[in-house]
Amino acid sequence: MSQTKALDSLFTELKKTSSDSLKIDVLNAIAEQYENEPAKMMEYSRKALTLSEEKKLKRRMAYSWFNVGTANILQSNYAEALKDFTNTQLLYEELVKAPGKENVLEIKNALAATYGSIGIVCSEQNNYAKALEYYFRALKLYREIKKDDVVVAVYNNIGNLYEIQKEYSKALEYFNKALWIQKKIGDNSAAITITNIGKIYLAKNEDSKAFASFKDAESIFKKHANYRGMAELYNNLGNYYKKRNIPDNAEAYYILALELFQQIGEEYGASASLGYLGSLYAFEGKNKEAIKYLERSSALAEQIGVPEQVKESEKILSEVYEKMGNAPEALKHYKKYSAAKESINDSENIKSMVREEMNYEFERKEALQKTENEKKQLIYKEEAKRHKLQMLFTALFILLLFGIAFLIYNRLQLKKTLTLQRDLAEYEQKALHLQMNPHFVFNCLGSISSFIVQNGKESAIKYLAKFSKLMRLTLEYSKESLIPIDKEIESLQNYLELEQLRFNKIFDFSITKDSAIEDDMALPPLLLQPFVENAIIHGLVPKKGGFIQVDFNIAGEKLICTVTDNGIGINKSKELKENLVTVHKSMALEITRKRLEVIQAVTAKSAKVEINELIGEDGQPSGTKIILHLPIQFSSDQKYD
């Protein structure tokens, strides 16, 4: 009735208004009222889109494309939905860069919602890497505009994706981030997040922590009723007690969950609860009860289109009948199990095809965006040149000498910019390629040869695998200006393991990362490798052993990277290598310093390196500590270059 009244009001408004902008807004509002009827939602969204394109109203075009995409999601047309949201994204990104009279915060909020919708589409097609990428983009904007309630939802989505991929530690990290914000803003839905945290603990076999989380959630649900959330919690408590082999408690909680799901008409949850009960009874050997509940679960799941639940229920039914010696019934249910399994496989194949189509769409969008950026850059350069000429001629008319001075200054600035760009490309390439110096490559190949001669096939294969992986990573990273910190750690890990093999494990190492560092936080590729190499060659090898510690931390607005060794120290190293410093070694530190200067120039934030000799309690050198202070950057930043 409420929807009918709202629609009547909107249709009346549509007939009365003569403003094109208002018509588009009303058409989109009507579309949103038809969320439960996707075909009608698509119809009115398309009408809004046609009118907004005709009148060249960008923001309303973006809004209309978003509703078209939502309608396609509701109709399970995921490839089409992605195209719609891509169009929305491009329009909102243009508006963010040049908002004009538009409200910047509202546009950023709409763009973040678009990124989140693309994440949902990718998640539905099991394209988890892309889903995470777009969730992190959405997260960055929502944090920027301080939408804490939506940040909580995105953190939960990220946690769910990591849970699906069985990356439980990361899932727990993001659920806890969501919970921290919920407690800060007094969000009563924190119980749902706490339930998710309990599920992760249960999956990690930390049962006591899981139970404590479930009980915390239960106390919140009792204060702030949420029947669906409470029912999900009861199912999880049932799973906990089943795992702890306390069937009576498990049964009681499954029944409570089933009653709540039936009370609110939640058939999906009810089907799961029926399945849990049937599985529990089958485990206890209560065959009649098991058959009763499993058949109800399968029938309900088939009715609402959940083949995964049908598969699970029918599989257990077949096993129960087989134990009872009822071969015809066992075969009948096994066939149903096989049909459901085949249906799931078919669905996965369709998802795979859609995923390929979506990946093509991503590549097409990136190519179009690159072309558009190049075109805009050319136009910008032409406009800049024209503006400079106008300024120059105006200045010449006012004062010739001032014009000449301005021209000289302008040329110097241009030269400085071009020099900086040239140095950036030159030093980035030198720095990356010097990581794999010929001396290191030949030593690695020599070690492999030695292992083979000594019949150390396993060692040779292991060494060669690590060496090839490091070479591949180095070549791959040379294409990027920024890489995630996890990739830098992976590269350092491979390099240090190689050097351990090369020097017969005379040293140990450890690499740590602060939990406050986000997954998409980044730094220039292979920046720490020269310092690690110096620590090994000039610190630990002369000492014939030792330890290297590499740490990544956050301090204020800085990323702090530390390389510490307990070698012979700087001064002793200088004495030993006097007159023997190779070209590579002398250039590596200078190139790294230059890279830091370039980072500082590009980000307009300070970047520096400190080199300190460590002194022991006896007053003697006890090693070296290198500290890099870098501005915080994100891997997603380079996508907007």
Question: In whole angstroms, how far apart are CA 530 and each of 472, 515, 562?
Answer: 18, 25, 13
Q: 241 pLDDT band (50/70/90 cuts)?
A: very high
The SS3 assignment for 577 reads coil
Is the sign of the CA dihedral 127, 130, 132, 137 positive or negative? negative
Q: What is the mean pLDDT of residues 27-39?
A: 89
Is residue 613 assigned to a domain? yes
The SS3 assignment for 634 reads strand
The values of phi and psi at residue 366, to 5°, are: -65, -40
Q: Which of left, alpha, beta for 76 (phi over 0: left; psi -120 to 50: alpha)?
A: left
Evaluate whether 386 touches 346 at the Cβ level (below 8 Å): no
pLDDT at 431 over 60: no
Evaluate whether 277 touches 296 at the Cβ level (below 8 Å): no
- For residue 636, give the nearest of 143, 134, 153 by alpha carbon: 134
Predicted local confidence at residue 584, as pLDDT = 44
Is residue 107 assigned to a domain? yes
pLDDT digits (tens, 9 = 90+) for 543-597: 888 999 999 999 988 999 999 999 998 888 888 776 554 444 445 677 778 878 8
What are the beta bridge partners of residue 521?
634
Domain interval for residue 621: 421-640
pLDDT at 405 over 70: yes
Is residue 399 assigned to a domain? no
Q: What is the mean pLDDT of residues 221-245?
A: 92
Supply 166's token pair.
Answer: 């069985």
Predicted local confidence at residue 583, as pLDDT = 42
Q: 6 pLDDT band (50/70/90 cuts)?
A: confident
Predicted local confidence at residue 177, as pLDDT = 94
365 vs 60, more confident: 60
Whole-angstrom Cα distance, residue 290 to residue 359?
Answer: 44
243 CB-near residues (< 8 Å, 6+ apart): 202, 207
CATH code at position 92: 1.25.40.10
pLDDT at 123 over 80: yes
Q: Which helix (H) or strand (E) holds 426?
A: helix 400-434
Q: What is the mean pLDDT of residues 328-338?
A: 89
The SS3 assignment for 520 reads coil
- For residue 253, give the nearest of 269, 236, 268 by alpha carbon: 236
DSSP 271-307: HHHHHHHHHHHHHHT-HHHHHHHHHHHHHHHHHHT-H
DSSP 454-513: TT-HHHHHHHHHHHHHHHHHHHHHTT-S-EEHHHHHHHHHHHHHHHHHHTTT-EEEEEEE
pLDDT at 433 over 60: no
What are the beta bridge partners of residue 560?
553, 629
| Mean pLDDT over each residue of the chain, to the nearest integer | 84
Is the sign of the CA dihedral 360, 171, 164, 188 positive or negative? negative
- For residue 594, give the nearest of 604, 582, 608, 573 by alpha carbon: 608
Whole-angstrom Cα distance, residue 366 to residue 377?
Answer: 16
CATH code at position 566: 3.30.565.10
Q: 377 pLDDT band (50/70/90 cuts)?
A: low
Distance of CA 531 to the CA centre of its chain: 29
Identify the domain boundary among 101, 127, 153.
127
- For residue 598, give the nearest of 434, 427, 456 by alpha carbon: 427
Supply 69's token pair.
Answer: 């995409």
Is residue 491 assigned to a domain? yes
Predicted local confidence at residue 483, as pLDDT = 87
Predicted local confidence at residue 434, as pLDDT = 52
Q: 640 pLDDT band (50/70/90 cuts)?
A: very low
Is residue 101 assigned to a domain? yes
Task: Using a pLDDT cut of 90, give the percent of the chain over it.
Answer: 41
- When divided into structural domains, the chain yields a total of 2
pLDDT at 299 over 50: yes
- For residue 6, give the nearest of 37, 46, 34, 43 by alpha carbon: 34
Is residue 133 assigned to a domain? no
Whole-angstrom Cα distance, residue 339 to residue 48?
Answer: 43
- For residue 257, give the nearest of 243, 239, 242, 244 by alpha carbon: 239
Task: Using a pLDDT cut of 70, give the percent of the chain over it.
Answer: 85
Whole-angstrom Cα distance, residue 507 to residue 539?
Answer: 11
560 vs 462, more confident: 560
pLDDT at 164 over 60: yes
Supply 126's token pair.
Answer: 């099991």
635 vs 132, more confident: 132
Supply 309's token pair.
Answer: 């639940």
Q: Picking from 92-106, 172-186, 298-312, 619-633, which range would have the lowest pLDDT averaged per residue? A: 92-106
| Full-model pTM | 0.58
Whole-angstrom Cα distance, residue 188 to residue 191?
Answer: 7
With b meaning 16 or more CB within 10 Å and e meaning fewer, what string describes 291-321?
Answer: bebbbbbbebbbeeebbebbbbbbbbbbbbb
Is residue 301 assigned to a domain? no
Q: Picking from 51-60, 580-589, 623-632, which range would have the lowest pLDDT averaged per residue? A: 580-589
Is the sign of the CA dihedral 295, 301, 303, 305 positive or negative? negative
Q: Please tell me the total number of residues recorded for the chain in this structure.
A: 641
Predicted local confidence at residue 482, as pLDDT = 84
Supply 160's token pair.
Answer: 């769910």
121 vs 433, more confident: 121
CB atoms within 10 A of CB 260: 22
Identify the domain boundary among 73, 107, 127.
127
- For residue 265, give the nearest of 306, 296, 307, 227 by alpha carbon: 227
With b meaning 16 or more CB within 10 Å and e meaning fewer, what string describes 561-581?
Answer: bbbbbbbbbbebbeeeeeeee
Q: What is the mean pLDDT of residues 103-120?
A: 90
Q: What is the mean pLDDT of residues 56-66?
A: 92
CB atoms within 10 A of CB 626: 22
Whole-angstrom Cα distance, residue 340 to residue 16?
Answer: 53
pLDDT digits (tens, 9 = 90+) for 172-219: 999 999 999 999 988 888 999 999 999 999 999 999 999 999 999 999
Q: 356 pLDDT band (50/70/90 cuts)?
A: low
Location of structure tokens 């399968």: 298
Supply 524's token pair.
Answer: 């220039």
Is residue 119 assigned to a domain? yes
Q: 388 pLDDT band (50/70/90 cuts)?
A: confident
Identify the domain boundary among 107, 127, 147.
127
Question: In whole angstroms, how far apart are CA 539 and each of 185, 574, 575?
Answer: 51, 10, 12
pLDDT at 390 over 50: yes
Predicted local confidence at residue 194, as pLDDT = 94
Evaluate whether 564 touches 549 at the Cβ level (below 8 Å): yes
